[in-house]
Amino acid sequence: MSEKIGIHELAALCAANGIRRAVLCPGSRCAPLTLAFTGNPEIELFQVVDERSAAFFALGLSMASAEPVALICTSGSAVLNFAPALAEAYYADIPLVAITADRPAWKIGHQDGQAIRQPGVFDNYTKKSIAVNGDFVSPEKASAALEEIQQVLQQAVSAPAGPVHINIAFDEPLYALAAPSVPLPEKAESPAPATLSGLEKEELRALLAQKPRILIAAGQWDHSPVLRQALEAFASRYAAVIVAESLSNLPKEAPLVYNANELLRVVSADVRTQMEPQLLISFGKGMVSRVLRRYLSGIADLHHIHVDAGAREIDTYGKFKAVYATEPEQFFRSLTSEGPAESESFRQLWLNNSAQAEQKAAQLLEEVPYSDLLAYRMVCRGLPSGISLHVANSMAVRYVNLLQKELPADIRIFCNRGVSGIDGSTSTAVGFAACRRDEDVWLLSGDLAFQYDSNALWNAHVSKRLRMVVFNNTGGGIFRVIDGPSQQPEKLNYFEAPLPSSAEPLALRSGAAYFAAHDAAGIAAGMEFLRTHSGGAAILEIFTPAKENEDVFKHFIQKLSEQI
């Protein structure tokens, strides 16, 4: 067969299912896909050479748009480079649609180039996958395949959203596509959002009355005003404690606890016991604080229920009892009724101690010498209002959590905390900024994460309004402060990988402006540079001393942990 039937229709099918953006990686075996997508005016295209970076770039596009994004590559090892971002998307509920070209089945295992076993290769990290032979012998065969692909595409956006994989084998010739002639399958109607049944509401109201000390763990979420109102109304009605973190993106003025990680270090054992909740309600993705996880896991009679539209039984604390398959806003609104609130004593105990812990931390921060901790505080204080802030994993997200009150009130915070790896943070931010070209997007990253993802800037889509702050402490500073590696200093190099480096060559290669800071005055000048620079993307690299960083942070935690 000299022409590929139904491939133009594949691109059109993607567009009909809400895919408005696609990331194309160069290659030959994917030529039919490239021709189909470049010929579809409804889909905006982004070309990224490195498949690993491209997948995280697509993750950022989807994160910014809240829409599915197609991700296309050639066959062989190129496909495997999608794995880290697809795993992140799977655990972060992000609808990536990986479309991978493949060799014909008869070539696999017979020493043909770029021929590996691709069908099902991502099955552990995708909601659904399909492998089809793209050399359809008739319009009828193409139509049947499109029907199956339609079902896969709909899985990407059904609750909970997540990645899917479409593997399509093509034989040569690759560069001729038949004119569109195959009708697209009709799109099935999305199921109505699940709601609590009458019986579930009765059970929950009885549970709330039986266990009045209620703690709500608000995990990672890009919260809507409607959810915030429902959550706050529920908390007020039942005198519940809301524990949140920077990635919860809840308003700071709300009566909630942002500093549980520090609070639980400060209070005495007796007070911690008095603060123990009877009922834990969790929603959103996981919390960063290990201190909070340990505390909740140690409460013997804790009753944990999880709210998740996908009905996933998430047992983070070893106390799981039930999952309620509905959206969080619907859950909290359904249970908020008129009437007097429960006793405020439990909530006030948390809020009063949180305020004291916050005051103590603020006093200690005023005494911090030049270090990562001081640098992060200065940067958080100097961020502009109204930005989207991306944060790398490891120490960066932990510093931002610690310094939550220093941040502007109206920013949105994002982080790859599905898998929580350091890889791909920069590429995700670059993709996010490429989708929101008219907005300021900032990234805070450690040097190891930034260098690991150095190809993030190797594309033509780096937004002029992207600002990157790289904290260069010569390696993985987190290993100096967590238990285990820090107790084995003779082997620390193998954990933290101290590789002297600078972001300046990457800035030069990508055309980004660059500013280096080595002290507090330099940080202040660098932040002013980033806020006022208008000529394109820009990087501020802050150099800090690794050993002093360790001493300063440990001293801060030690003083903070002294009981109030």
Domain boundaries, the chain: 7-169, 198-356, 367-560
pLDDT value for 562:
85
**Mean of the per-residue pLDDT values of the chain:** 91
User: What percent of the chain is modeled with pLDDT above 70?
Assistant: 93
Q: What is the pLDDT of residue 224?
A: 79
User: 225 pLDDT band (50/70/90 cuts)?
Assistant: confident
Taking residues 119-136, what's their average pLDDT? 95
pLDDT, tens only, 355-389: 999 999 999 999 999 999 999 999 999 999 999 99
- Give the separation between CA 503 and CA 501, rounded to whole angstroms: 7
pLDDT at 342: 60
Report the distance separating Cα 415 and Cα 63, nearest Å. 10
- What topology is assigned to 198-356 in CATH? Rossmann fold (3.40.50)
Is the Cβ–Cβ distance between 383 and 526 less than 8 Å? no
Dist CA 413 CA 543 (whole Å):
24
pLDDT score at 2: 59
How far are the Cα atoms of 202, 241, 285, 360 from residue 92, in angstroms, in the given order? 31, 25, 7, 34
Cβ neighbours around 325 below 10 Å, total: 18
The whole-number pLDDT of residue 476 equals: 58
| pLDDT confidence of residue 1 | 46
Give per-residue pLDDT as tens, 168-178: 999 989 898 99
CA–CA separation, 349 and 347 (whole Å) = 5
Q: How confident is the model at residue 269 (pLDDT cuts 50, 70, 90)?
A: very high
The yes-or-no verdict on residue 478 having pLDDT over 80 is no
What residues contact 201, with CB distance under 8 A and at least 6 apart? 334, 335
Phi, psi of 449 (to 5 degrees): -65, -40
Tell me what the mean pLDDT of segment 215-242 comes to. Answer: 91
Phi then psi for 454, rounded to 5 degrees?
Answer: -65, -25
pLDDT classification of 417: cutoffs 50, 70, 90: very high
- Predicted TM-score (pTM) of the model is 0.93
Residue 188 scores a pLDDT above 80: no
Say if residue 110's pLDDT is above 90.
no
In this prediction, what percent of the chain has a pLDDT beyond 90? 80
In angstroms, the Cα distances linking 491 to 195, 422, 484 are 53, 21, 11
Q: Are 81 and 120 in contact (CB under 8 A)?
A: no
Give the pLDDT confidence of 485-504 residue by residue, as tens digits: 555 555 555 455 666 789 99
Q: Report the pLDDT averaged over residues 166-195.
A: 88
Q: What per-residue confidence (pLDDT) applies to 496?
A: 59
Mean pLDDT for 61-86 is 97
Fold annotation for 367-560: Rossmann fold (3.40.50)
Please give the torsion angle defined by the CA atoms of residues 372, 293, 260 and 382, in that order, rounded to the nearest 10 degrees: 30
Q: Give the mean pLDDT of 53-63.
A: 98
Q: In this structure, what token pair is assigned to residue 527?
A: 């932040």
Sorting pLDDT into bands at 50, 70 and 90, what band is 432? very high
Dist. CA 90–CA 112, nearest whole Å: 31
The least confident of 115-119, 301-305, 346-350, 397-401 is: 115-119
Residues 71, 205: Cα–Cα separation, whole Å: 45
CA distances in angstroms from 266 to 214, 354, 397, 560, listed in the order given? 21, 9, 21, 6
198-356 matches 367-560 in fold: yes
Q: Give me the CATH code for the 7-169 domain, please.
A: 3.40.50.970
pLDDT band at 192 (very low <50, low <70, confident <90, very high): confident
For residue 290, is pLDDT > 80? yes
pLDDT of amino acid 484: 53
